[in-house]
Structures are given as C-alpha cells and as structure tokens.
C-alpha cells in the first residue's frame, strides 16, 4: 500500500492535472479550476501560515461524504506542495489526524467506505463512541475528542455555503459559544455541487457506493432517501442526463495503477466510470430505480432526499 507521502503526491498529481485541463472541454471545468485555486490559496497561504500541518495542530472532520473527499484530496495535494517547498529531509507524517464524529449509526455502505478510505488515505481516524442509552450533543462529542488530542488547534470541515447554516460562514473562524474552542477551517465553502462532481469524477478515485444509487446527500439512516428528482419513473421527459461524460472519458489515468494496491478491505471499489443505473438498496426503495447522484447538479435540490419532498421544493415529484 502506498505511504502517506506517495498518496499526497498522487493527490497533487490529480489536482495539477485537473488545473491543466482546457476550460473548453467541459462546461464545469473553468468554475471548478477557480474553486480549486481558491481552496489551495486558503490552505497554503492562510491555514498553513498559522498552523504547521506536520505539527499535529490540524485535524480533518471526515464522514466519507463527497464534500469531505474533495477537501481531503485537495488538502493532501497542498500537503505535498508544502513539503516540497520546505526543508524537511523526509516526509514527516505517516498518518493524517482525522475524526469521524457521529452521534447515530450510519449506512453500512458508508461505514465500509469510511473504513476503506481511512486506510487508503492514511487517516489516523478517531471514531466517536455511540451512546444509545443517552443523548449527546455534537459539541460534547468534539469536546471529548479535543480532550483526548489537546494539540489540535484547527479542524478542517467540508461544508459548503449551500449547506444548512453555511451561507454566512467564512473560511477560518472560531467555534460558536457553547462549543469547545477550536478554529473551524472551511476552505471549500465556495464550491458548487457541479464542481464537486466534476472534480471527483475526473479524479477517478473510488467514491461511496450510495452515490451510485441515487443519493446526493448523506445524513441519518432514518432520515435519508435517494433523491426523488433522480427517480427514473418520474423523468418522463428524460430531463436527466450525465453532464460529466467528458470527465469520465478523460479521467485521471494513473489511478489504474494505484487501484492495484493490496489494501486489505472488504470494500468493493466504486468508480464512476464503471457505474450505470442502480436500484436503491434500502427496504422502502428496493424496487425503485434511480439515476446516479451525479446526474443532479442543482444545488437547491441536493438535499431533497433528506426531508419530505413537498417541503423541499414546490414542484417535487409525487
């Protein structure tokens, strides 16, 4: 299995390859390149100037979702750049500090993906314990984590402005009152859903299988369904299509070799280029077919599987 040094270099190769693409090749490349460059500027020029990434002061809040994965890949790319510009004789990290803070059980497929990517990306992943007998707040779970790892000063969070409560956030800010004190590091606030899909699909990195089954946003198991706007039977006018064909056809090629790594895991790799229409695997939607999650690019509809469709959008399908 590749080391963290090799994985960081590989992520840097992905990012730099995307930045060299011609903006004319796909409708989302230019805006995604702008998003990547702004994220890199924030990480390299602001975050790394305040906290050394090799000191254990920075951690990643990781839940296996698409936004977290985009942040992780770009962050590792920046880590490689920081290392190459520095004076270290050898790469000083073997694992990346990270935390999976979850108060309830998550989808088994998501749990498997988190375990797989923790190994693949060399995450020293702390997992918050579940407390089925008592209700614990998210702030308390982070407080427990920081008490165990007191060196951490800032936590990378893959939140975007289109997420709930994300509209007024800034890339670097202190936690709110009632939370343990740390700096929230949020360098992908400006990314759109389309840019997330474009970059991930081009990267050719394995993604969580749930996205191939019509999910576009992952939350509590009991409160998350595939996105109703991706239900095939509701697309009578055939409005849904894959707008990332170019990214699929020209996906980063070096991944073919990296996927030959001997990673001991039961997780089944899911690459966008190998995915077609799936049937959702939960009990309620077992016989309902959905387009893959990346067939949806409208930020306003991204979370429509998280709440009742009628509350999500005036003309949601029934």
What is the pLDDT confidence band of residue 253, given thresholds at 50, 70 and 90? confident
Summarised one tens digit per residue, pLDDT across range 207-223 is 999 999 999 999 988 88
> What are the strands, taking DSSP E only, across the chain?
58-61, 96-100, 123-127, 154-156, 172-174, 183-185, 278-279, 289-290
Confidence (pLDDT) at 234: 76
Which H/E stretch holds residue 144? helix 138-148
Confidence (pLDDT) at 1: 82
**Residue 123: helix, strand or coil by DSSP?**
strand
Bridge partners (DSSP) of residue 109 are none
d(CA 309, CA 170) in angstroms, rounded, equals 30
User: What percent of the chain lies above the pLDDT cut of 90?
Assistant: 74
d(CA 96, CA 54) in angstroms, rounded, equals 9
Confidence (pLDDT) at 268: 53
Q: What is the mean pLDDT of residues 298-306?
A: 95
For the chain, what percentages of helix, strand and coil (3-state, to nearest 5) are there?
A: 40, 10, 50
Confidence (pLDDT) at 138: 93
What is the pLDDT confidence band of residue 48, given thresholds at 50, 70 and 90? very high
Of 100-109, 126-135, 269-278, the least confident: 269-278
CA angle 189, 56, 146 (to 5 degrees): 75
Q: Is the pLDDT of residue 241 over 90?
A: no
Strands 278-279, 289-290: pairing is antiparallel
Confidence (pLDDT) at 310: 43
Q: Is the pLDDT of residue 232 over 60?
A: yes
From first CA to last CA, the distance across the chain in angstroms is 47
Domains recognised in the chain with CATH numbers: 4-185 (3.40.50.620), 211-312 (no CATH)
Q: Is the pLDDT of residue 318 over 60?
A: no
What is the pLDDT confidence band of residue 259, given thresholds at 50, 70 and 90? very low
Identify the residue with better confidence: 76 or 261. 76
For residue 66, the Cα-to-chain-centroid distance in whole angstroms is 3
What is the pLDDT confidence band of residue 308, given thresholds at 50, 70 and 90? low
177, 255 contact by CB (below 8 A): no
DSSP class of 43? I
146, 182 contact by CB (below 8 A): yes
CB atoms within 10 A of CB 303: 17
Q: Is the pLDDT of residue 258 over 70?
A: no
Confidence (pLDDT) at 288: 84
Summarised one tens digit per residue, pLDDT across range 159-187 is 999 999 999 999 999 999 999 999 999 99
Confidence (pLDDT) at 83: 97
* Residue 73: closest CA among 187, 166, 182: 187
Q: What is the mean pLDDT of residues 44-60?
A: 97
Q: Is the pLDDT of residue 229 over 70?
A: yes
Summarised one tens digit per residue, pLDDT across range 122-157 is 999 999 988 767 778 999 999 999 999 999 999 999
User: What values do phi and psi take at 67, rounded to 5?
Assistant: -65, -45
Q: Which tokens sit at 222?
A: 């009991």
């Amino acid at each position: 299995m590749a080391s963290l040094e090799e994985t960081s270099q590989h992520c840097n190769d992905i990012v730099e390859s995307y930045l060299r693409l011609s903006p004319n090749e796909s409708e989302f490349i230019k805006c995604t390149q702008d998003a990547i460059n702004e994220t890199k500027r924030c990480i390299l020029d602001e975050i790394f100037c305040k906290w050394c990434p090799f000191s254990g002061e920075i951690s990643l809040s990781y839940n296996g979702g698409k936004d977290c994965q985009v942040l992780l890949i770009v962050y590792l790319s920046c880590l490689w750049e920081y290392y190459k510009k520095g004076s270290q004789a050898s790469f000083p990290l073997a694992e990346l500090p990270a935390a999976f803070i979850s108060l309830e059980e998550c989808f088994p497929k998501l749990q498997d993906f988190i375990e797989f990517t923790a190994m693949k990306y060399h995450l020293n992943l702390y997992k918050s314990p579940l407390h089925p007998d008592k209700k614990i707040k998210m702030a308390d779970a982070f407080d427990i984590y920081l008490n165990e790892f007191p060196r951490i000063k800032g936590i990378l969070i893959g939140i975007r402005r289109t997420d709930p409560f994300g509209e007024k956030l800034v890339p670097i800010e202190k936690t709110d009152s009632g939370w343990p004190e740390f700096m929230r590091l949020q360098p992908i606030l400006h990314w759109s859903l389309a840019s997330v899909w474009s970059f991930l699909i081009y990267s050719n990195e394995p993604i969580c299988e749930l996205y191939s089954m019509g999910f576009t946003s992952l939350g509590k198991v009991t409160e998350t369904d595939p996105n109703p706007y991706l239900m095939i039977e509701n697309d009578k006018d055939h409005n849904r299509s894959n707008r990332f064909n170019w990214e699929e056809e020209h996906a980063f090629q070096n991944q073919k070799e990296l996927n030959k790594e001997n990673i001991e895991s039961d997780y089944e790799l899911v690459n966008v280029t190998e995915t077609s229409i799936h049937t959702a695997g939960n009990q309620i939607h077992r016989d309902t077919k959905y387009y893959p999650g990346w067939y949806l690019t409208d930020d306003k509809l991204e979370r429509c599987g998280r709440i009742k469709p009628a509350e999500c959008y005036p003309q949601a399908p029934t």
